[in-house]
A and B are shown apart, each in its own frame.
Chain A
Amino acid sequence: MHMADALVSPAVGGIMYACSAAVAAYSVRKIKLEADPLKVPVMGVMGAFVFAAQMINFSIPGTGSSGHLCGGMLLTALLEPYASFLTLLSVLLIQCLLFADGGLLALGANVWNMAFYGCIIAFFCVWKPVMKNGLSKGKVVAASIIGSVLSLQLGSFSVTLQTLASGNSELPFSVFLGVMQPIHLAIGLVEGLITAAVLIFIYEARPELLQAPQTEGRKNRFSLKKVVIILGIVAVLTGGVLSHFASSSPDGLEWSIEKTSGQEELEAEGDIYERAQSVQEKTSFLPDYAFKDSDTSAGTSFSGIFGALAVVLVCAGVCLLVKWIQKRNSKA
């Protein structure tokens, strides 16, 4: 997934440098606060380990091919997010300088696509939540696979965006994405399985190296209540304010239909379609994101807020249902 200099424009390269530099500066601050003198030598040697491990070929059963380790998820599980981000950053810099794997200008983009998603996002979105109540073999396997797949999917999506934003490829967005995402899904799965195998070995041999993330003392800073309030404000702002600026132009699918059939929406004929349409007309009280028989912007805003609330309620309902089923199963 290493991007070459030729694939990024100076603007995209500069923006990605700024983003990665901001994360690096924050990570350095965090490590300084930890004040652990052993951390830097461990990071150095672990960086060299990742470099060496990337060269080991692991045969993939049933395919006749082999894959290798990238190391983001493995590092984040062992060193925690900030140290692992800096470790992978130095590995990427050395790879770019010594082996021309990636480019000097594209370094910011590569750090973002691999180290930010692989270490920071994978830790906070996958490893930490999964390990919240302690470690187990199953959790290690699940977190390794989910984390690797998620980070590689995000990384490959960013590569697509960065290349197209740089204007260096004539490939349409959908085609580029259609090629990148499935390939990286397979790579992510292999990476996840190798990471899981290594972490399980560590869990059995030296469990003290693989500790569950510390959550004590941080609960008050990041309580569920605060998260719900922040998400609520973001949802209201997005739905109520930003929906004013929603484009009146057709979306991608509507545009394609318009180009091929000359109509924005396809009219389906038949008894079953008419019945379904009449049910939809009776039940939808905000047709086309507006009040019925009204064309005011307030209708759009209300639709946005209502839609966001509806999604939140449905998600909360599903979560409560899952929790209730889990409780019932544990009692049984």
Chain B
Amino acid sequence: MSKMTGAIYEIHQIDEIAQRKNWINDIHPLIKLIVTIGYILCVVSFHKYDLTGLIIMAVYPASLFILGDLSFLGSIRKLRIVLPLVCAVGIWNPFFDKQPMMLLGAFTITGGMISMVTLMLKGILSVLASYLFIATTTIEKICYALKLLHVPTILVTQILLTYRYISILLSEANRIMTAYLLRAPGQKGIHFKVWGSLAGQLLLGSMDRASRVYESMSLRGYNGTFYFRGKKAIGKNDIFYLLIWILIIGVLRMEVLL
């Protein structure tokens, strides 16, 4: 599967999961956003040697995967970008921080080793939390939550439009790439002589599409504001969900502090 086909597949898959009928999907998007950001803040605030505290924080993603009936394997794919980056930074810690922390038989575990594992764990937990958020909340609902947070309409509309057109432009780019590769078999990437014309054609097509999009939107009464379907007020269940997680995450974090 090509990179673009993979991305299109991933977008559709996330869209499908987020639109399921499930109690977590029905929680107010603003509440889920607050809980997710609060959890990530707590995770990254742990000290670099506090491995035990971080392991306990896995309670949040573990519970949501089970209760929300979500596949853990589906989230593993999301770690492919973050983990190499975090490893590239953390892998040097054992070489620079050789402070002995504990003995495991004859093997000395240094501060650098612990901070490396802690860094990786922070990366994994924060990616899982973001995945759980996007897997249970559609992009329209996320934009609605941003609107409630008084993020300017221009920015919210921009995010919605970009998301809406990503699949279309990815398909178009994929067609162009396939056509090119069929005419240039065995070539790695686009030859430099056609760098400009290949990406430029896609760009010009996109600009023309933008004009058509605007004309169609104007004909349908677009006046710069998007109206969200399924607006809902924060209910009792949402408040309960928020309080429960504040309590659990708070207790886990305080336990470690004490």
Contacts and interface: CB of A to CB of B under 8 A. Distances in A.
A197 B44 contact: no
A56 B112 contact: no
A170 interface: yes
B173 A53 contact: yes
B59 interface: no
A45 B209 CA distance: 8
B209 A6 contact: no
A98 B173 contact: no
Given A52-B170, A56-B177, A59-B191, A171 B213 contact: no
A169 B81 contact: no
Interface in B129-149: 129-131, 133-134, 139, 142
Interface in B101-156: 112, 115, 119-120, 122-123, 126-127, 129-131, 133-134, 139, 142, 152, 154-155
Interface stretch (A25-33, A121-129, A277-285, A305-313): A25-33
Contact of A98 (B11, B36, B40): B11
A103 B130 contact: yes
Nearest to A38: B214
B204 interface: yes
B239 interface: no
Interface stretch (A202-210, A236-244, A264-272): A202-210
Interface string A64-92: 11100100000000100000001101110
B82 A103 contact: yes
Nearest to B168: A48
A185 to B, nearest CB: 18
A104 interface: yes
Contact of B217 (A4, A41, A194): A41
Given A6-B123, A100-B82, A52 B173 contact: yes
Given A53-B202, A58-B192, A97 B142 contact: yes
A97 B133 CA distance: 8
A24 interface: yes
A163 interface: yes
A51 B166 contact: yes
A252 interface: no
Interface stretch (B2-10, B65-73, B229-237): B2-10
- Summarize B's interface: helix, strand, loop or mixed: helix
A222 interface: no
B130 A96 contact: yes
Nearest to B217: A41
- Summarize A's interface: helix, strand, loop or mixed: helix
A51 B162 contact: yes
A212 B79 CA distance: 42
B143 to A, nearest CB: 10
Nearest to A64: B188
A43 interface: yes
A168 B89 contact: yes
Given A100-B82, A104-B36, A104-B130, A40 B157 contact: yes
B162 A90 contact: yes
A150 interface: no
A100 B152 contact: no
Contacts of B191: 59
A86 B156 CA distance: 10
Interface in B166-214: 166, 168-170, 172-173, 177, 187-192, 195-200, 202-204, 206-207, 209-211, 213-214
Interface string A1-27: 011111111100100000000001100
A287 interface: no
A104 B48 contact: no
Given A5-B123, A42-B214, A90 B155 contact: yes
Contacts of B7: 55, 99
Given A6-B120, A48-B165, A163-B89, A87 B158 contact: yes
Interface of B: 3-4, 7, 10-11, 14, 36-37, 40-41, 43-45, 48, 78-79, 81-82, 85-86, 89-90, 92-93, 95-97, 112, 115, 119-120, 122-123, 126-127, 129-131, 133-134, 139, 142, 152, 154-155, 157-166, 168-170, 172-173, 177, 187-192, 195-200, 202-204, 206-207, 209-211, 213-214, 217-218, 224
15 contacts: A4-B127, A6-B82, A6-B86, A41-B161, A41-B210, A42-B210, A44-B213, A51-B170, A53-B199, A64-B188, A89-B155, A103-B82, A198-B196, A206-B207, A209-B207
Given A93-B159, A101-B81, A209-B207, 20 more contacts: A4-B82, A5-B44, A6-B86, A7-B123, A37-B214, A41-B161, A42-B210, A44-B164, A44-B210, A52-B173, A57-B190, A94-B159, A94-B166, A97-B130, A101-B82, A104-B126, A105-B37, A105-B41, A170-B93, A206-B207
